[in-house]
Structure 1
Amino acid sequence: MDRKFILTAFGYAVLGLALGIYMAASKNHGQHVTHAHFMLIGFLLSFIYGLCHKLWLNNSTSKLAIIQFYVHQIGSAVILIGLFLLYGQFVDLETIDPVLAVASITVFAGVILMKIEFVRCTRNT
């Protein structure tokens, strides 16, 4: 699990930094919220989850760990795509807001699942 999280984290970092470089080059910073979310929930949170699996959860591949991985990735991807569409003015807020709300709750559920994994963890540190 640690490797999956780290690889996806760096994928989000590449996309987020590419978006940041594009904004700087074009002098159009309209996607700054999307860029921030790529770097925070995409890169940073995925990277932290990878470290948690490596250092404390014995790189668990339990059903709960697999579910938590996909819950986080699906929620993150939907948020990032939704924010890109919103701030790129491809869709209006009324249309995308319910999608972003559900995706945000999905990422939140991923955090709760990680907490449960830690509570269940029997490894002494």
Structure 2
Amino acid sequence: MRGFGKAFFATALVYGVLGILLGLHMAMSKNHGQLPTHAHILVIGWVSFAIFGLFYCAHGHAVPKLLATLHFWLAEISFAALVVGLWLLYEGYGQYEPIAAVSSLGYAASFLIFVIAAICGMRASPASTA
């Protein structure tokens, strides 16, 4: 595993651990106010980033480097900002909702870039026998 596949999968592991730790913290404190943040960390951070990593391991050779680079950095930065924005929002700081909103748009844009990368990767892959 190397390149963007390794990078996405490595950060997915970090996000998975952070999501689990947040879930444990909520359970032990009996305060589930950060449930949306917890869910976003696990679904976007762990699941989506792991899938991106596996895709790039299998098909990354067929994706233009600029496209993969743009996808990686936009996804990582917007996701980090999204987590911060959600944390602040669910801690009661409603004035920081624009951070969550703008970073959500950034992540959505990164996902659309991934769709283009996936199309490039699948088109260049040899025909499946299945």
Q: TM-score, normalised by structure 2?
A: 0.87
How much is the aligned-residue C-alpha RMSD, in angstroms?
A: 1.5
CA displacement 1:27-60 (0-9 Å, x = unmatched): 1111111100000111111001001111223385
Q: State the match for 2:55 in structure 1.
A: 52
1:1-125 correspondence runs (5 A)? 1-58=4-61, 62-89=65-92, 91-92=93-94, 95-121=95-121, 122-125=124-127
- Give the C-alpha shift of residue 99 in structure 1: 1.8
Q: TM-score, normalised by structure 1?
A: 0.90
The gaps in structure 1 that reach 5 residues or longer are none
Partner Cα separation in structure 2 for residue 87 and residue 3 of structure 1: 32
What amino acid is the match of 1:9? A
Partner Cα separation in structure 2 for residue 62 and residue 77 of structure 1: 22
> Are the counterparts in 2 of residues 57 and 123 from structure 1 also a CA contact under 8 Å?
no
Partner Cα separation in structure 1 for residue 119 and residue 16 of structure 2: 29
> Are the counterparts in 1 of residues 86 and 97 from structure 2 also a CA contact under 8 Å?
no
Partner Cα separation in structure 1 for residue 62 and residue 47 of structure 2: 18
CA displacement 1:56-111 (0-9 Å, x = unmatched): 2338570110110010011111111111111122x12xx22222111111111111
CA displacement 1:3-29 (0-9 Å, x = unmatched): 100010011111111000001111111
Instruction: Please state which structure has a larger fraction of its residues in helix.
Output: 2
